[in-house]
Amino acid sequence: MPSQAVNHWYGSDAYALTTAETTELVERASQLFAGEITVEESVDPECPTAIYVVVRVLLEEPRPSTDDIIDRELRWHREAAQIAPAAKGLVRLFVE
C-alpha cells in the first residue's frame, strides 16, 4: 500500500510513503476518528506537478463537535509529521 507523493512546488522531487508509514497514518486516523478511512492521491489543480497523499475520513454518526474534530485533526497532523517526517506538506487529512 505504498503511496507516491510528488510536489515540485515545495522543491521535493518525490517521496514514496512506505507501506508501514501509510498503515500507521491510517491507524492513527482510526484511533482519532470513528468512520470509514481511505487513502488516495490528489493532484493540485493549480500546480499539476503537486501530488498529495490524502487520508480521507467519512465520519460515523454521531459526529463529534466541530471543536473536537479540529482538535483531533491537529493531533493527527502532529503525529503524521513524526510518522513520515520526509513527507511533510505532502500528506493531507480530509474529514467529512
Residue type, 50: A
Which residue intervals of the chain are DSSP H helices? Answer: 19-32, 66-83
Q: Evaluate the CA torsion angle 46, 96, 54, 85 in order and state its sign.
A: positive
- Please write the tens of the pLDDT for every residue from 19-74: 999 999 999 999 999 999 999 999 888 888 888 999 999 999 999 999 999 999 99
What is the secondary structure of 14-38 as a DSSP string?
EEEE-HHHHHHHHHHHHHH--EEEE
pLDDT, tens digit (0-9, with 9 covering 90-100), for 60-76: 999 999 999 999 999 99
| Spatial contact of 21 and 87, defined as CB atoms under 8 Å apart | yes
Does the reported pTM lie above 0.85?
no
SS percent in the chain: helix, strand, coil, step 5: 40, 40, 20
